[in-house]
Amino acid sequence: MNQMRARPRTSSAAPSLLQRVVCGMLCLMLVAPAAAQRLYRWVDDEGNVHYTDSMPPSQAGKAHSEMSEHGMRLREVPPAKTLEEMERERELERLREQQARLIEAQKAADEVLLRAYRSVDDLIMARDGRLAGLDVRLQIDKEIIDRQQKRLDDLRAQAAKSKRDGRPVDRKLAADIAEAERSIQDKQSIMLQREQQKRDIRTHYDRDLKRYRQLRNLSATQRGDAVVDAEMSLGNIIECEGPEACERIWQRAIDYLEQHATLPTETTGENLVVTIAPESDADVALTLSRLWKSNGQRATIFLDTRCQRHQADSTDCRTEARDQVLSRFRTAVEGDQPAADLGSSTDR
């Protein structure tokens, strides 16, 4: 009987749990040295380069490099930010936020501008209409001042007659004279505000015209955009601060008026000087007022022309000679050269 020899059996079963644990430990043993070999490159305060397996506490927060055991740079670590740098970054962020808000506000303003005006001509008409309205009010103010000035002249004449007759000036008459002077100054203050409003309107519409052209891709400037006006620069207005400084400028302003007016003065007060009214276009009649602010430390000195009584439109009062006197006022009075030495643009 033949006996059959048994063949060895081949196992195809998966690795045992023990085998898996052994493999895992071997892997850890292989990886651990690599992790332990990470180096740090850093430079001390004296410029010396160091390579260590850990960063010294004294170097914490300073720039350094992390390197492999083969010298390959794995990561660059920047220095920790100082308090000043962090504050600067916060300030930059705040400014960026403000800038973003300004950009949004500009976009909204651009949309309003484009919806409000169909063309450059619309913008110019709107500007000129507002300026014309203020010119009408200014003319009314001047007419009121002329009437008040006539009343003041009559009151002063009564006071002068009383003195000639050897009688004291009546208290009521003196009070009426003071009230008339204050009334003229108050109206001059209102006129000054209107002049400043005209300046603000021009500035506003000049800016809108420029922006409108940019948005519509139009040429920079066209005829009619600019308003040619001797008062545009407000050369007939001077701001002063401090009683002594204002008094010096006030006296120089009076010198300027006397040098350039072609007519004699009919009213001279502490804060008001007025020449007689003009009879022809060749006359240069002026009104000078010093308008104190509420605190009494600052004042506005305002020079203006007087018009002929029959003229109804402020533009009719304009002549080249009168415009030059107004436009040169501030430069002359604030300059170093005495106003009387500057010469006159008109013959007295």
- Domain segments of the chain: what residues? 115-216, 237-341
Q: What is the DSSP letter of 119?
A: S
Taking the C-alpha atoms of residue 257 and residue 336, their distance in angstroms, rounded to an integer, is 17
d(C-alpha 218, C-alpha 117), whole Å: 14
pLDDT at 344 over 80: no
The correct CATH number of 115-216 out of 1.20.1740, 3.30.70, 1.10.3470, 1.20.58 is 1.20.58
Q: Packing angle between helix 83-116 and helix 171-216, nearest 10 degrees?
A: 90
In this structure, are residues 239 and 300 in contact, taking their beta carbons and an 8 Å threshold? yes
Neighbours of 94 (CB within 10 A): 10
**What is the token pair recorded at 331?**
């430069």
Mean pLDDT of 161-178: 91
Rounded CA-CA distance 305/282 in Å is 13
What pLDDT score does 206 carry?
Answer: 94
Taking the C-alpha atoms of residue 232 and residue 191, their distance in angstroms, rounded to an integer, is 14
Q: Which of 92-101, 263-272, 311-320 has the lowest mean pLDDT?
A: 311-320
- pLDDT tens column, 298-320: 888 988 888 775 454 445 577 88
- Express each pLDDT in 42-75 by its tens digit: 788 788 888 887 778 877 777 888 887 777 887 8
* CATH class for the domain made up of 237-341: alpha beta
The overall pTM is greater than 0.95? no
pLDDT, the chain, mean: 80
pLDDT at 195 over 60: yes
DSSP readout, 157-223? HHHHHHHHTT-PPPHHHHHHHHHHHHHHHHHHHHHHHHHHHHHHHHHHHHHHHHHHHHHHT--S--T
